[in-house]
């Protein structure tokens, strides 16, 4: 009984948001209520799954099973990703309830799109085959683009259009890789591919195509150009979703493919070093660009470019010291999701409050909007990698891996990235104390928007204290394999 019960939970994680999306599309007036109810339910189920999962689960949808049917698998890595999207998703849903309350027109579009996005996201984290990953990736991309365009300003539409083109290009590259892999090894199931795949030119071609497609979607330097305009010009709840969750999805696929199919084939140090190098450049470039920005939301968006760079340091470091590096990377990804969502929410509150996001004119928000600024500061601490926070633990683990590997150049990158993050975030915080030359009229910010931002920010602190249970969950089913 108990085992069957567990195996149903992953299915619910996909169907609940799907049903929620449909219902909120049909009953537009009650969209917000339906959306929030769905979010709460999904969150509860994700938590239940976390506590009941003792070993990896595989669920054949409709009882067909591979190779014909669609299977769902959940192991520690998927679990952490699901928990990440459940937590951020619940936070953003509550926040959006406040944000769209005054914008009913937008709310009607937001809820079905967002719940659709969530369906795709959960489906993606649970997918067992590379074609299903393609479908969920496309659904995710399309709903994300539609959400990004929601604001309707010229900047938002332009950003969304660019985002769409890049996203479709990335998916097609990925799909071509799927075609090659299927042709060569006769399966789309990741586990089967892992067993069958051998090092030959077609595998290498698939590796290149899929990797390029996915890093395009993950906005890894130098493919980051589309991210800042799209994320910064979207409405604030959407910015939070895009930066915290959507970019992680394509990274997750890349990581899965790498771990289960490509890494065992030993494609050579060139690949891992190149990915690490691009990650390092992303950290530096993204941080320096963030430091240059005068607009708050663009600054946060560039910070995402930088923070995504850290994730790619996992490739060379895992090659050197094994799974410990991936642990660090996933911890960073998880902390970044909470922190970045909180940052964009706080920024959204500041924009709503003062009507603009010019950093130099923040005009004493520390006193006038203390909860939001506290959220900003606490989330910022995690991004800088200062204790006590999840970001600190992630950086600690990553540094440990880099030092153990004796690869000092990554150590330097990690430390410089942290200092630059402190520089650009404290630039904002400093201006929050000063008085602007012209004081703007202030709009009221609904308390729920302030509190959700703060709660997510405090979540990053809890991630810094509640480490071993999370790492134990992540280790379920040994997703990173044994070390070399």
Partner 1 sequence: MSVAVLYAVTGLGLFSLGLYALIVRAHLLRKILALNIMGSGVFLVLTALARRAPDGPPDPVPHAMVITGIVVAVAATALALVLLRRVVETTGQPRLPDPDSE
Partner 2 sequence: MNHWYDWVPLMLLGSSLLPGLVIFALPERSVRLRTVLNLSGAVVKLLLVGWILRHIYFDYAVLFETRLTLIPQLDLALRIDPLAMLFVTLSSVLWLLTTIYAIGYLEGAPHRSRFFGFFSLCVTATVGVALAANLFTFLLFYELLTLSTYPLVVHRGSDKARRAGQSYLIYTIVGGVLLLLGTVWLYTLTGSLEFTPRGFVADLEQRHHPALILIFILLIAGLGVKAALVPLHGWLPQAMVAAAPVSALLHAVAVVKAGAFGIVRVVYEVFGVQFAASLGVAVPLAIVAAITIIYGSIRALYQDDLKRRLAFSTVSQVSYIVIGVALAGPVAAIGGIVHLVHQGLMKITLFFCAGNLAETLGIHKISEMSGVGRRMPWTMAAFTIGAFGMIGLPPVAGFISKWYLSLGAIEAGQDWVIGVLVISSLLNAAYFLPVLYTAWFGTPPERWPQARDFGRRETARALLFPTLVTGASALLVGILAATPFSPLAWAKLIIEREFY
Q: Any residues with CB less than 8 A from the CB of 442 and at least 6 apart, and which? A: 353, 354, 368
Query: Which one among 6, 70, 80, 175 touches partner 1, defined by CB under 8 A?
Result: 175
Cis peptide before 63 (omega within 30 of 0): no
User: In the range 186-205, which residues lie near partner 1 by CB under 8 A?
Assistant: 186, 188
36: closest CA among 109, 91, 102? 91
Residue closer to partner 2 (CB basis): 210 or 381: 381
479: closest CA among 80, 67, 129, 52? 80
Query: Which one among 139, 426, 448, 475 touches partner 2, defined by CB under 8 A?
Result: 426
Determine, following the binding rule CB under 8 A, whether residue 422 of this chain makes contact with partner 2. Answer: yes
The DSSP annotation for 287-343 comes to HHHHHH-SBHHHHHHHHHHHHHHHHHTHHHHHHHH-THHHHHHHHHHHHHHHHHHHH
Query: Residue 482 binds what, of partner 1, partner 2, none (CB under 5 to 8 Å, by partner type)?
Result: none
Size of the site for partner 1 (CB under 8 A): 37
What DSSP state is assigned to residue 235?
A: -
401: closest CA among 468, 307, 327? 327
Q: Which stretch binds partner 2 (CB under 8 A): 1-9, 88-96, 143-151, 363-371?
A: 363-371
Determine, following the binding rule CB under 8 A, whether residue 183 of this chain makes contact with partner 1. Answer: yes
79 C-beta neighbours (distance < 10 Å), count: 25
Size of the site for partner 2 (CB under 8 A): 35
Q: What are phi and psi of 412, to 5 degrees?
A: -60, -45
The 3-state secondary structure of 344-407 reads HHHHHHHHHHHCCCEHHHCCCHHHHCHHHHHHHHHHHHHHHCCCCCHHHHHHHHHHHHHHHCCC
Determine, following the binding rule CB under 8 A, whether residue 165 of this chain makes contact with partner 1. Answer: yes
Cis peptide before 473 (omega within 30 of 0): no
- The Cα–Cα gap between 41 and 9 comes to 11
**Total length of the chain:** 484
Determine, following the binding rule CB under 8 A, whether residue 67 of this chain makes contact with partner 1. Answer: yes
Query: Which one among 9, 34, 178, 377 touches partner 1, defined by CB under 8 A?
Result: 178
> Closest distance between partner 1 and the C-beta of residue 60, in Å?
17
Residue closer to partner 2 (CB basis): 22 or 471: 471
Q: Which stretch binds partner 2 (CB under 8 A): 158-166, 171-179, 203-211, 432-440?
A: 432-440
Query: Which one among 388, 446, 448, 458 touches partner 2, defined by CB under 8 A?
Result: 388
Angle of helix 370-384 versus helix 408-433 axis, rounded to 10: 170
Cis peptide before 464 (omega within 30 of 0): no
Determine, following the binding rule CB under 8 A, whether residue 462 of this chain makes contact with partner 1. Answer: no
Query: Residue 165 binds what, of partner 2, partner 1, none (CB under 5 to 8 Å, by partner type)?
Result: partner 1
User: In the range 214-243, which residues lie near partner 2 by CB under 8 A?
Assistant: none
Can you give the binding site for partner 1, defined by CB under 8 A? 67-68, 131, 134-135, 138-139, 142, 145-146, 149, 152-155, 157-162, 164-165, 168-169, 172, 175-176, 178-179, 182-183, 186, 188, 225, 228-229
Q: Which residues of the shown chain bind partner 2 in the complex (CB under 8 A)? A: 364, 366-367, 370, 381, 384, 386-388, 392-393, 396-397, 399-400, 403-404, 411, 415, 418-419, 422-423, 426, 429-431, 433-435, 464-465, 467-468, 471
């Amino acid at each position: 009984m108990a085992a069957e019960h567990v195996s149903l939970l992953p299915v619910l994680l996909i169907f609940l948001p799907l049903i929620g999306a449909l219902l909120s599309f049909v009953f537009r007036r009650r969209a917000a209520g339906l959306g929030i109810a769905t979010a709460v339910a999904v969150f509860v189920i994700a938590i239940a799954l976390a506590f009941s999962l003792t070993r990896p689960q595989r669920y054949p949808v409709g009882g067909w099973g591979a190779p014909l049917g669609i299977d769902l698998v959940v192991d520690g890595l998927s679990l952490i990703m699901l928990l990440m999207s459940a937590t951020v998703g619940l936070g953003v849903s509550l926040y959006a309830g406040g944000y769209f309350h005054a914008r009913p027109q937008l709310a009607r579009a937001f809820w079905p799109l967002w719940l659709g996005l969530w369906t795709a996201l959960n489906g993606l984290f649970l997918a067992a085959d590379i074609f299903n990953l393609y479908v969920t990736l496309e659904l995710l991309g399309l709903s994300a683009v539609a959400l990004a365009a929601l604001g309707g300003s010229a900047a938002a539409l332009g950003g969304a259009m660019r985002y769409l083109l890049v996203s479709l290009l990335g998916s097609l590259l990925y799909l071509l890789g799927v075609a090659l892999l299927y042709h060569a090894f006769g399966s789309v199931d990741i586990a089967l591919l892992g067993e069958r795949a051998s090092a030959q030119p077609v595998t290498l071609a698939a590796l290149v195509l899929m990797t390029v497609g996915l890093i395009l979607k993950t906005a890894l330097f130098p493919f980051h150009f589309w991210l800042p305009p799209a994320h910064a010009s979207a409405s604030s709840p959407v910015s939070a979703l895009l930066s915290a969750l959507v970019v992680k999805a394509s990274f997750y696929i890349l990581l899965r493919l790498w771990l289960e199919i490509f890494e065992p084939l030993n494609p050579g140090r060139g690949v891992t070093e190149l990915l690490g190098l691009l990650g390092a450049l992303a950290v530096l470039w993204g941080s320096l660009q963030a430091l240059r920005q005068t607009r708050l939301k663009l600054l946060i968006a560039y910070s995402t470019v930088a923070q995504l760079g850290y994730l790619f340091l996992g490739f060379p470091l895992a090659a050197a010291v094994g799974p410990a590096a991936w642990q660090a990377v996933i911890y960073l990804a998880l902390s970044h999701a909470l922190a970045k969502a909180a940052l964009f929410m706080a920024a959204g509150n500041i924009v709503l409050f003062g009507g603009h996001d010019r950093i130099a004119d923040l005009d004493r928000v520390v006193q006038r909007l203390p909860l939001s600024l506290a959220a900003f500061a606490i989330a910022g601490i995690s991004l800088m990698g200062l204790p006590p926070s999840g970001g600190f633990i992630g950086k600690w683990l990553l540094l440990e891996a880099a030092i153990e590997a004796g690869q000092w150049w990554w150590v330097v990158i990690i430390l410089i990235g942290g200092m630059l993050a402190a520089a650009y975030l404290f630039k904002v915080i400093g201006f929050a104390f000063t008085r602007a030359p012209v004081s703007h009229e202030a709009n009221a910010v609904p308390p729920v928007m302030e509190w959700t931002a703060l709660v997510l920010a405090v979540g990053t602190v809890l991630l810094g204290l509640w480490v071993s249970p999370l790492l134990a969950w992540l280790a379920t089913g040994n997703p990173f394999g044994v070390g070399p």
